[in-house]
Structure 1
Amino acid sequence: MRRRGTARRSWLGGVRDAIDGLVKSSPSRFAILIFLALVMVTTLLLSLPIARAGEGEGTPLADALFTAVSVICVTGLTTVDMATHWSPFGNAVIYIGVNIGGIGVLTLASILGLVISRRLGLRARLIAASDTNPSRIHQGPVSESQAIRLGEVGGLLVTVAISALVIELTIALAMIPSFLSDGYDAWTSTWYSFYYSAMGFTNTGFSPNPGGLEPLQDDFWFLSLLMLSVFLGSLGFPVIYTLARAWRKPRKWSVHVKLTLATTVILFVLGALAFLALEYNNPKTYGRFDAGTTVFESFFMSAMTRSGGFATIDMADLNGSSLLVSDMLMFVGGGSASTAGGIKVTTLAVLFLAAFAEARGAPAMEAFGRRIPRDILRLAVSVVLWGATIVAVSTIILAQITRAQLDYVLFDVISAFATCGLSTGFTFDLPPEGKYVMAATMFMGRVGTVTLAAALAASQRRQLFKRPEERPIVG
């Protein structure tokens, strides 16, 4: 008995040590493995006959895998009719999956550990810190004021759990009257409300009812709640954490919080103005609305192209110029450590600050009375380059496979990379090989370009010498 017990403890101890070693050496690879494991489990569950509505065979592998990736990566793109294809079991798997993916696997694991042990160990703090600040994945724990400090991670995790629960619950309860007034029974109204609330806060974009938002297109209360849910989810938990603690003291907000809020509001307004100017006379989209509805729909579209994924119009009916604006907004996405995707608004802000500093001849980037180190600029540039490369390669492959119109291919590829979920209809008609390419694009977009680069790159090595400096001609 002792030998069996010793062998069992030794085997479990070896597995635990291996996991601990992986977490210490490369949190990014650990994160990717966790996401892959969740995708595989979700694919298996969605492939079961019980997950599909009606009697018959299960969902084909290509569709099950695509949906699983879209769920865990909180994208919202789909190759099946989400309102009719899945059974109650399948919908339950999807509902749970988007909440796990939206909160973040590592953050959720740290929350569970915190609840169980009532204290957060140093290793768990390091993992959670990496999940809330990509620069920590690249360089390890850092002490910059732009992000959540290591000692604040415990409070951040509590905020993540409470904010997700409170926001989704509040939005869901406020949505119920809209479905009741639309003729649904109490149970269906409650289920649809909680489903939409979760999909809004996680920035996923799935719709459980036939017709999606079309039956609710004139319900401005419901659409406003959905827009608010998407906006809160796209801010990022570090921002929510700061606002919850010191919303009356803007002077104490970090540069990260200020940059996120400022850039988010600017993009929200500029996006709405762009859609208003480009689509007000389009008879297929906003040309059939009155002035007030057109303004509202423009702001709604601006919010959804930032990663929300819901639409009250057919995206294929947009003008080519509006599709390009949508591409730009989707590529940027939302805030860091949020349920939104994209390169993130702070990345865009850092690039503009760098260009502004260069134009002025300033020695460093500055924002809100603080200096931003140059290594953050290198990280921002790498994020944009990796993101652009992923989008370009996926677009070329899918355009070659489908021979479809380029602007539609590019739109759906950026939507997949930025985990937005809007579609021109291109994704729904993909062949199996195209579904796999799009699923890979969604996965790389969700795990993050920096995380992916750090996982694939070899460990950094110290260089004890400097090579001679020489300046190439740029521009």
Structure 2
Amino acid sequence: MRATRPRVTAGIGSPSRLVVLGFGGAVLLGTLLLALPVATENGTSAGVVTALFTATSAVCVTGLVVVDTATHWSTFGEIVVLTLIQAGGLGIMTLASLLGLLVARRLGLRLQLTTQTETKSLGLGEVRGVVLRVIAVSLAVEAVIAVVLTARFAARYDMPWGRAVYEGVFHGVSAFNNAGFALYADSMIRYATDPWITVPMMVAITVGGLGFPVLFEIGRRLRGRLGRWTLHARITLFTYAALTAFGVVAITAIEWANPATLGPLGVPGKLLVGAFHGVNPRTAGFNSLDVAQMSPASLLVTDFLMFIGGGSAGTAGGIKVTTFALLAFVIAAEIRGEPSVHVLGRRLSADIQRQALTVALLGVGAVAASTFVLLLITGFPLDAVLFEAISAFGTVGLSTGITASIPAGGQLLLVVLMFLGRLGPITLAAALALRERARRYELPEERPIVG
């Protein structure tokens, strides 16, 4: 007898609602702490909008700011921001992994996070295992990056060891969580040609952006436990690498002779800065050149990369590389006239295709609507406003420098967009999968004209 897929009850949506409520509570707490006078350098309250914007940007690991982090916030305020970044990054990786695990259980699929055997329930032990693994991986990577940055700050830039440790930890945590917060007004421009600063940060950004399921599979192979790569891991690694290479080559080539960006640098410096700016649109948000001086073509390439983002169940945002890749496979199959979509020896179910299309189109709609509103309430050109909207939705943090000049209403819109972009693709994909149910009947088929 063929097993039927279990019907999902109305209460299944609650995990996604709990994720939204949890992150909403973290944003509220962060807002209250950052609104305290002790959180600012001058001892006066930052104001509700500034505190809310900064707290949302930190929890959603975005990096957009309306005030300079280093000069506006006190040490207490910076530690609050750092704590929110850490909590947001760990929360995203843990909750997205658990939601993926829950979806796999509900749909009767093979578990792809902790084992290759089929199971029937999501037990407390598995939840604990996922949480502990996420924390261990995150802290380990952050610690390694922080040690390298600390040593460089102290040895090369003569920072006192206490300050070097503080800046090393801050930027290590910010990089791994793809947050983009820096303790300098010019982000990482002062270290643009220093590979001992920028390369470790690129490594942290990439590791954090791949997603925990992929990191677990890589770790398993490094421990000698070989086996078949999951389809998710293969798609993520290939697409992530391809898009990163595209970003590095495109931005480096376009900006090579730009006198306001890469032009004055030597060849090694151009290659290093170009690589840094090819990696960061994966939603990290650091910059080692003036983004406002980049050519429109480079901004458009960056828009494209920011919207796609990084891997699922990682610290990167966007619609995710798997969503982009699945849509590309669907298009390729349709062009070839194939009745079903086959990817690397596996067939994609119709519901997965619909979910990818829904996530992508809703993302396009959110960016388009926000861009339209921002154009109405600001006097900035389309390319700058579109860049800002995609950066917020993709939780990237890159900006052409207009964030602080946007009216309060526009900043609140960016708050909503950051929150939606951080949690929307995750919770929407999980909710769509968990709400799936069998239809008792089908209506007569009819084909409208397409194109």
Q: Match for residue 37 of structure 2?
A: 49
Deviations 1:390-443 (A, max 9, x none): 101110111111121110000011000000010001112111111101100000
Inter-partner Cα distance in structure 1 for 2:331 and 2:409: 41
Q: Match for residue 145 of structure 2?
A: 171
Q: Match for residue 364 of structure 2?
A: 388
* Residue 1 of structure 2 corresponds to residue 32 of structure 1: no
Structure 1 residue aligned with 2:285, among 302, 309, 314?
309
- Per the alignment, do residues 459 and 144 of structure 1 end up closer, same or farther by CA in structure 2, a change over 3 Å counting? closer
1:285 alignment partner, SS class: coil
Inter-partner Cα distance in structure 1 for 2:152 and 2:401: 28
- Per the alignment, do residues 267 and 443 of structure 1 end up closer, same or farther by CA in structure 2, a change over 3 Å counting? same
* Structure 1 stretch displaced more, 251-260 or 240-249: 240-249
Q: Match for residue 381 of structure 2?
A: 405
TM-fit CA distance, 1:319 = 0.5
2:347 alignment partner, SS class: strand
- Per the alignment, do residues 456 and 231 of structure 1 end up closer, same or farther by CA in structure 2, a change over 3 Å counting? closer
- Per the alignment, do residues 431 and 148 of structure 1 end up closer, same or farther by CA in structure 2, a change over 3 Å counting? farther
- Per the alignment, do residues 106 and 192 of structure 1 end up closer, same or farther by CA in structure 2, a change over 3 Å counting? closer
* Structure 1 stretch displaced more, 406-415 or 246-255: 246-255
Inter-partner Cα distance in structure 2 for 1:222 and 1:236: 23
Q: Match for residue 256 of structure 1?
A: 232
Verify the 8 A CA contact 1:263 1:346 in the aligned structure 2: yes
Q: TM-score, normalised by structure 1?
A: 0.85
Inter-partner Cα distance in structure 1 for 2:435 and 2:344: 35
Q: Match for residue 238 of structure 1?
A: 213
TM-fit CA distance, 1:212 = 2.8
**1:312 aligned partner, one-letter code:** S
Inter-partner Cα distance in structure 1 for 2:200 and 2:276: 11
Q: CA RMSD in A?
A: 2.5
Alignment of 1:11-26 (within 5 A): 24-26=12-14
- Per the alignment, do residues 301 and 250 of structure 1 end up closer, same or farther by CA in structure 2, a change over 3 Å counting? farther
Deviations 1:16-40 (A, max 9, x none): xxxxx99855211111111111111
Q: Match for residue 206 of structure 1?
A: 181
Verify the 8 A CA contact 1:305 1:420 in the aligned structure 2: yes
Q: Match for residue 14 of structure 1?
A: none
Inter-partner Cα distance in structure 2 for 1:455 and 1:361: 31
- Per the alignment, do residues 214 and 393 of structure 1 end up closer, same or farther by CA in structure 2, a change over 3 Å counting? same
Q: Match for residue 251 of structure 2?
A: 275
TM-fit CA distance, 1:92 = 1.3
Verify the 8 A CA contact 1:147 1:256 in the aligned structure 2: no
TM-fit CA distance, 1:156 = 3.1
Inter-partner Cα distance in structure 2 for 1:455 and 1:216: 43
1:380 alignment partner, SS class: helix
1:366 alignment partner, SS class: strand
Verify the 8 A CA contact 2:97 2:113 in the aligned structure 1: no
Verify the 8 A CA contact 1:22 1:30 in the aligned structure 2: no
* Residue 128 of structure 2 corresponds to residue 162 of structure 1: no
Inter-partner Cα distance in structure 2 for 1:146 and 1:360: 30
Q: Match for residue 467 of structure 1?
A: 443
TM-fit CA distance, 1:267 = 0.6
Structure 2 residue aligned with 1:129, among 85, 89, 98?
98
Verify the 8 A CA contact 1:411 1:423 in the aligned structure 2: yes
**2:32 aligned partner, one-letter code:** L
Inter-partner Cα distance in structure 1 for 2:366 and 2:17: 19
Alignment of 1:36-185 (within 5 A): 36-55=24-43, 57-104=44-91, 107=94, 129-130=98-99, 132=100, 136=103, 140-144=106-110, 154-180=128-154, 181-185=156-160
Number of residue-to-residue matches in the alignment: 433
- Per the alignment, do residues 210 and 461 of structure 1 end up closer, same or farther by CA in structure 2, a change over 3 Å counting? closer
1:253 alignment partner, SS class: coil
Deviations 1:104-152 (A, max 9, x none): 26837xxxxxxxxxxxxxxxxxx9531x46x929x94541566666576
1:104 alignment partner, SS class: helix
Inter-partner Cα distance in structure 1 for 2:353 and 2:195: 41
1:270 alignment partner, SS class: helix
* Residue 265 of structure 2 corresponds to residue 289 of structure 1: yes
TM-fit CA distance, 1:251 = 5.0
* Larger relative contact order, structure 1 or 2 (CA cutoff 8 Å, min sep 6): 2
Inter-partner Cα distance in structure 2 for 1:359 and 1:456: 27
TM-fit CA distance, 1:462 = 5.8
- Per the alignment, do residues 300 and 367 of structure 1 end up closer, same or farther by CA in structure 2, a change over 3 Å counting? same
* Structure 1 stretch displaced more, 459-468 or 190-199: 459-468
Inter-partner Cα distance in structure 1 for 2:57 and 2:103: 26
* Structure 1 stretch displaced more, 254-263 or 364-373: 364-373
Verify the 8 A CA contact 1:260 1:335 in the aligned structure 2: yes
Q: Match for residue 6 of structure 2?
A: none
1:424 alignment partner, SS class: coil
TM-fit CA distance, 1:210 = 4.6
* Structure 1 stretch displaced more, 211-220 or 73-82: 211-220
Inter-partner Cα distance in structure 2 for 1:372 and 1:452: 19
Gap regions ≥5 residues in structure 2: 1-8, 116-121
1:448 alignment partner, SS class: helix
Inter-partner Cα distance in structure 2 for 1:458 and 1:24: 6
Inter-partner Cα distance in structure 1 for 2:23 and 2:445: 42
In percent, how many aligned pairs have the same letter?
39
- Per the alignment, do residues 25 and 291 of structure 1 end up closer, same or farther by CA in structure 2, a change over 3 Å counting? closer
Verify the 8 A CA contact 1:156 1:237 in the aligned structure 2: no
- Per the alignment, do residues 210 and 471 of structure 1 end up closer, same or farther by CA in structure 2, a change over 3 Å counting? closer
Inter-partner Cα distance in structure 2 for 1:293 and 1:457: 46
TM-fit CA distance, 1:271 = 1.1
Structure 2 residue aligned with 1:335, among 311, 334, 337?
311
Verify the 8 A CA contact 1:102 1:339 in the aligned structure 2: yes
